[in-house]
Amino acid sequence: MRLSRGNVTGALAGLLEQGLIEPAGEQRRADLGGKPRKLYRLTAAGVDESAGQRETLAALMDMADGRRERCGTVATAHEVSGQEPTRWVERDGDEQRGA
């Protein structure tokens, strides 16, 4: 997967705004023509948040593994998340989002 600069910049701005990361200086890289690369580090809040996210992902993986073992199939993301999948219905030849 490739991320554009805009995606990364926006994500970093959001993490900074939420206090999850903080600037940690700059580093010049020869492979970037000597342009500085900004460095960031997790804040205490960022460490706590990432630990919570890891726990959530681990629980989802455990659920998926349990369903796969019971059913003999791979659980879908919708099954794991408990959310209803988006359904598309066709009306008058046009596809429209349906409930």
CATH of the domain at 46: 1.10.10
Give φ, ψ of 86 to 5 degrees: -70, 130
The total domain count for the chain is: 1
Least confident of 14-18, 46-50, 82-86: 82-86
What pLDDT is stored for residue 65 in this prediction?
77
Q: Which pLDDT band holds residue 4 (cuts at 50, 70, 90)?
A: confident
Residue 88 is assigned to a structural domain of this protein = yes
Q: What are 18-39's pLDDT values in tens digits?
A: 999 999 998 887 776 777 888 9
Structural domain harbouring 39:
5-94
- Taking Cα atoms as reference points, which of 4, 55, 5, 44 lies closest to residue 21? 44
Q: What gap in Å lies between CA 5 and CA 33, rounded to an integer?
A: 17
pTM of the complete model: 0.55
38 domain residue, yes or no: yes
Asked if the model's pLDDT at residue 52 lies above 60, the reply is yes
Both ends of the chain: CA-CA distance in Å? 31
Residue 16 clears pLDDT 90, i.e. is over it? yes
Read off the pLDDT of each residue in 8-20 and give the average, rounded to a whole number: 94
Please indicate, yes or no, if residue 72 is contained in any of the structural domains.
Answer: yes
Does the residue 9 lie in any domain?
yes
| 58 domain residue, yes or no | yes
Domain membership of residue 99 (yes or no) is: no
**pLDDT of res. 12:** 93
Helix (H), strand (E) counts: the chain: 3, 4
Amino acid 73: pLDDT: 54
Position 21 in a domain: yes
